[in-house]
Structure 1
């Protein structure tokens, strides 16, 4: 796969400036858009043009605003053989009565015969293809393709639009890294428009009469956004007006030709990694020390009930608490997803082998023994959440919905999560209370570590393998003819389809559970030699490649949501699918599976931040010196606002794909993530204000997320502002971090990326 790159050249026409290459043209149609906080807008072109001997075009305009402010704009347009760089300087010659202005631009594609439906879009962590996996012809989240997003939500500071049939690909990027930001006050959040000292701008795109407009603004504007509320209310900032230089910033536009959307995305990601000069961060803690802090923290939260307390003697790691308090919230044992008991047990077993401490292994075995003895039905179905206090299984209330389980009534729910989230999720929560079942992800996340533990333990328990084989039969019995599985199942093995907002509104969404079972099937085939497992895995791979990889419609990794819909575009959905294709390739040597895995890996890298977002100094992340490079967005609803830790589990998978494919750039991304995501770990040297070393919050906020002022007891990822964490430590994070490191060690004998590169890429 390749992207054709031709020199893009600016030229002056009667209509202004046209940027032309062999791949297509971009009309620099409205180069100057000025908005004032008073509500006035001026859209204009240039007054003068001058081209020097090197072909650099200097275009200027002098704009008088009605209230007395005069701005002078100078744009220097220079082609460097790859794109056109636009160096913009805005000066205030005279200050009038307006207190704040915003200066932007709009460029429009020129593709013959194009219609709005022909376009594929990419906004990192926000839009992949057309964000329409429910198939209703409408963008699934904000409900519009007119989207602008703050720079601190944009992990690569760029976005693109691709014309599907011709392959013409148009991108816009900011090359001047934002250097500072000040916090937005509660009053400003309510006002929605305000004057602010900030270096955060925005980029955007929008369909326009069959073409696509590329946009930029400084400071930021978002006409539709979940930064404030679930209604998608727009907002924006204006820079203070004072005589002198107001704006000094460089943008880049490119016109290329790419053979598919994945290629276009990867080309832009790689181009921006070079432009932004991305370097691996230093988190101030070694990987070895980080894993020790994490594993010891997990030990602090081990609990086994006595026979007098509960005859089943349940055991697990009750890691679900605010990092500032450390007290476990509730007493649920959650297998899979945010509780991830089996993964923690596997990691603790490996930790016991590394340290020689038998206690860690004994405790790990007790957790897995409880699971296989009491949490699986005869048909192989696995329960997800056990309540030891009431000796019963509970359903669905996982992740951000966990407070719904604690709450005694709806008033309690509002107290825990606030009015917005209670209002968005209460109707679904009521319906879910009457449904018994479990997510396929959750079941797979229990069985896969169980199989790994069975193979790793020097005292392997045959009951663990028996449980895995029962679940293997469950998978064989529930797989559809097209190779798919549903997202969730009832205990009798029936796929769950209602409510549609939770389990899926289309076949593609309902069957997004297909991304999880393949690693289990591959391991069971390896242990038992039963070809049925490998046949099922192959059928699943075909479905995944056709439904998710080729159209760039990766969905379904997360079990919860903040609002709108549960089945959505998310980074972890790409991760699980990528792993499935990798494991099948390693079992079959079928190059088609590796090629599809590489495609998924390249899209996954587009979720990763390539630069360090500036944080207000008085925030948690600002005080801690947090750096965002190497972190990945969570899902397309939160956009790049909310970064979480799940990629830590998949660094080994990405490194293995890089090695199999001979692609060192993919290995570089694995290294960025492996080191970057240690940045939020509490250590003795930098505790972030947490109660113990080894704590890493479930996620952090690079921007604003449902930030309309509200009072919540359990905020999670809502009612948060830039520079916050989500005030929640879950078992998932440290289990994933341990697994990812052990996977690197098992695969390469080292977690030293320089050594891996020297060994595999010379």
Structure 2
């Protein structure tokens, strides 16, 4: 069986290689170099190929001040076959290397383009952590097909510097991935037009373009963003073309992997290319000396310093804070981004384990205050209260299914913990049943829940993209109250997720301040199926597990496998931040953060169930990397107070409103970052809860 499988792979690999060869031989691999003399417009040199014995010379019709050679060689990858890793003797991709040598001092931008020969109209497109299908869930103010059907972007926007084109009609795909030693970044004086870099950069570009209705993959060096560059949340600016200096007699070598293949659907593409990328990059854990215990002890600095007591509600101030001061505010947010109740539970559990009486008393005061003052007239959670100006963040009675669900999630952990330690809270249990019964009234016939609604349960945003967030507390309610109506409702959400989200590979609208393709939608979908798997058996459990696996690949695709370079003076680069293991947020919010919560536990569970070591290995990378910016004495990482973990980490040419690459936004929400890291370092909670 093993031999036959290898022969099949060898046959497929030969076909894949032949397709790549055909693209080059048929003239579908085009190249151009632009040379800029400062103070003058760049001159473009279309290139043609002069084949030689060892390498192909790229020549122009007129003299140019560079010598360019390109070699195309085979490359071995590891294939996953019947749960056994075997090295195929037949290459499935090509390594393309280009060497540019300057005959005189030059400033250049080198461009390449592969015509896949697929009809552009038949294709979906993929740039990991940034572009999914056609980004049609995103608005026209962000990169999407609403603005253009052709986009090239700088590589540091992407969790893997790759573009793939997927032909939906045939199942064929073509991908190009850059693989170099990314060490350098340089500043520019301008952000649009032709710009000369102030020094060396390692950052090139990648993307796709519609050329005569053929889908082309475009890639090159240094970066070149068209037709717009995305510089700020919902702000597109004119295109930018960067020019790198190359000294006379010096050379630069650029490398890309070119691959083609065939998959069943877009989900299959995401899985294939995530595994392929992982096997090439093989990200290693980041070397940090911060143990789990040290991280948690440091994070308690947030619990103690941010605690607010002078309002009817007691809470940790964790939303809308200024990075430079970390001064507490009178703003309490129950779910994302404040996670008031989850932080209270974490502080309570830790305080009792480590004899920290202040943490214990503070936490109990949070739950007591929310029992008495934390509900609306219709018995829903007061999601956001701003005591500083005596109003809510938005309309006084506007709610979100996500925040309500996250409040329920925290409360069930608290109630189960208290029950396990011989303490009962019948008033809280009654509140939870009432709230859940209200929530169930919102469930649609297809199993979905609306994204936003008012206190009278009138729907204000009927999008179902946030539905998986409520699956989690419904399963917890089923276990805690032993009432199957909650389980039945959870299973109905699973039907919706399978039919409308997972099967369509359409993960959207879970980020509360954006309505687009995002990481959290796929992460919550995977987590929801994880919960359903844990309380199921037999074929049903296998079904939910397979859906969990499929959604998890999408969530994983948002997490960086490589380390983005920073220029000197870009603070988080000067600190030494390694970006591998961090996740991009969404198409609209183009920054990295530590949103992980219990997804690490999901991946470890999948790793065992499917014998997939990549998952557990990558959890180790994530866990090691996400503790890098922990602020403590003499290691404050640009944060004013110990334990206030940063939020908006701006790693590319984009900002949330302030500061840009290499810095944080000036406003942040450490309430959720602390809660996320705490759950990452508290594995097994869900399995323990659902085993009761």
Give the TM-score of the pair, scaled to structure 1: 0.80
Counterpart among 185, 191, 194 of residue 189 in structure 1: 191
Report deviation, 1:594.
1.2
d(CA) in 2 for partners of 1:140 and 1:64?
37
Structure 2 partner of 1:348: 347
Is the alpha carbon distance of 1:218 and 1:579 closer, same or farther for their aligned partners in structure 2, counting shifts above 3 Å? same
Q: Any idea what the Cα deviations from partners look like across 1:622-641, whole Å, max 9, x if unmatched?
A: 221111110010111244xx
Report deviation, 1:284.
2.9
Q: Does 1:650 align with 2:654?
A: no
Structure 2 partner of 1:130: 134
| 8 Å CA contact retained: 2:47, 2:59 | no
Bigger Cα displacement from structure 2, 479-488 vs 286-295: 286-295
| 8 Å CA contact retained: 2:271, 2:553 | yes
Report deviation, 1:696.
1.6
Counterpart among 642, 649, 667 of residue 616 in structure 2: 667
Structure 2 partner of 1:587: 535
Structure 2 partner of 1:573: 521
Task: Map 1:64-79 onto structure 2 (within 5 A).
Answer: 69-79=64-74
- Secondary structure at 2:175's aligned position in 1? strand
Structure 2 partner of 1:62: 59
d(CA) in 2 for partners of 1:383 and 1:141?
38
Structure 2 partner of 1:740: 680
d(CA) in 2 for partners of 1:39 and 1:10?
36
Q: Does 1:456 align with 2:417?
A: yes
Task: Map 1:254-269 onto structure 2 (within 5 A).
Answer: 254-269=259-274
Is the alpha carbon distance of 1:141 and 1:299 closer, same or farther for their aligned partners in structure 2, counting shifts above 3 Å? farther
d(CA) in 1 for partners of 2:25 and 2:508?
32
d(CA) in 2 for partners of 1:718 and 1:648?
26
| 8 Å CA contact retained: 1:25, 1:109 | no
Q: Gaps (5+ residues) in structure 2?
A: 1-5, 76-90
- Secondary structure at 1:475's aligned position in 2? helix
Q: Does 1:105 align with 2:112?
A: yes
Q: Does 1:726 align with 2:690?
A: no
d(CA) in 2 for partners of 1:653 and 1:324?
35
d(CA) in 1 for partners of 2:496 and 2:143?
23
Counterpart among 236, 245, 254 of residue 241 in structure 2: 236
Bigger Cα displacement from structure 2, 84-93 vs 381-390: 381-390
Counterpart among 6, 10, 14 of residue 7 in structure 1: 14
d(CA) in 2 for partners of 1:553 and 1:48?
44
Structure 2 partner of 1:159: 163
| 8 Å CA contact retained: 2:17, 2:93 | no
Q: Does 1:180 align with 2:158?
A: no
Q: Any idea what the Cα deviations from partners look like across 1:72-131, whole Å, max 9, x if unmatched?
A: 111011123121111110112245xxx5210111001134xxx33321211111111222
| 8 Å CA contact retained: 1:121, 1:160 | yes
d(CA) in 1 for partners of 2:216 and 2:686?
48
Counterpart among 639, 644, 652 of residue 703 in structure 1: 652
Alignment length (residue pairs): 650
| 8 Å CA contact retained: 1:280, 1:676 | yes
Structure 1 partner of 2:20: 19
Structure 1 partner of 2:401: 440
Structure 1 partner of 2:581: 630
Task: Map 1:221-620 onto structure 2 (within 5 A).
Answer: 221-223=224-226, 224-227=228-231, 230-305=235-310, 313-320=312-319, 321-328=321-328, 330-377=329-376, 379-389=378-388, 392-396=390-394, 436-457=397-418, 458=421, 459-497=423-461, 510-560=463-513, 566-589=514-537, 590=540, 591-620=542-571
Report deviation, 1:62.
3.2
| 8 Å CA contact retained: 1:582, 1:653 | yes
- Secondary structure at 2:535's aligned position in 1? helix
| 8 Å CA contact retained: 1:27, 1:109 | no
| 8 Å CA contact retained: 2:101, 2:251 | yes
Superposed CA RMSD in Å reads 2.7
Q: Any idea what the Cα deviations from partners look like across 1:498-529, whole Å, max 9, x if unmatched?
A: xxxxxxxxx6xx12231211111111111222
Structure 2 partner of 1:692: 641
- Secondary structure at 1:658's aligned position in 2? helix
| 8 Å CA contact retained: 1:634, 1:644 | yes
- Secondary structure at 1:540's aligned position in 2? helix
Report deviation, 1:214.
1.0
Report deviation, 1:649.
4.5
Report deviation, 1:283.
2.8
Structure 2 partner of 1:711: none
| 8 Å CA contact retained: 1:130, 1:139 | no
| 8 Å CA contact retained: 2:534, 2:687 | no
Q: Does 1:206 align with 2:155?
A: no
- Secondary structure at 2:663's aligned position in 1? coil
- Secondary structure at 1:478's aligned position in 2? coil
d(CA) in 1 for partners of 2:339 and 2:636?
24
Report deviation, 1:353.
2.8
Bigger Cα displacement from structure 2, 275-284 vs 127-136: 127-136
| 8 Å CA contact retained: 1:515, 1:577 | yes
| 8 Å CA contact retained: 1:348, 1:360 | yes
Bigger Cα displacement from structure 2, 296-305 vs 606-615: 296-305
| 8 Å CA contact retained: 1:280, 1:671 | yes
d(CA) in 2 for partners of 1:490 and 1:27?
60
Is the alpha carbon distance of 1:478 and 1:124 closer, same or farther for their aligned partners in structure 2, counting shifts above 3 Å? same
Structure 2 partner of 1:756: none
- Secondary structure at 1:450's aligned position in 2? helix
| 8 Å CA contact retained: 1:343, 1:736 | no
d(CA) in 2 for partners of 1:7 and 1:614?
36
d(CA) in 2 for partners of 1:528 and 1:9?
55
d(CA) in 2 for partners of 1:135 and 1:627?
31
d(CA) in 2 for partners of 1:702 and 1:147?
20
d(CA) in 2 for partners of 1:299 and 1:189?
42
Report deviation, 1:617.
2.4
Is the alpha carbon distance of 1:454 and 1:393 closer, same or farther for their aligned partners in structure 2, counting shifts above 3 Å? farther
d(CA) in 2 for partners of 1:135 and 1:102?
30
Q: Gaps (5+ residues) in structure 1?
A: 12-17, 52-57, 397-432, 498-506, 561-565, 707-716, 750-762
Q: Any idea what the Cα deviations from partners look like across 1:669-702, whole Å, max 9, x if unmatched?
A: 2222122111121133522243333122112111
Is the alpha carbon distance of 1:585 and 1:360 closer, same or farther for their aligned partners in structure 2, counting shifts above 3 Å? same
Q: Any idea what the Cα deviations from partners look like across 1:418-464, whole Å, max 9, x if unmatched?
A: xxxxxxxxxxxxxxx5x731111111111110111110123332222
Is the alpha carbon distance of 1:737 and 1:649 closer, same or farther for their aligned partners in structure 2, counting shifts above 3 Å? farther
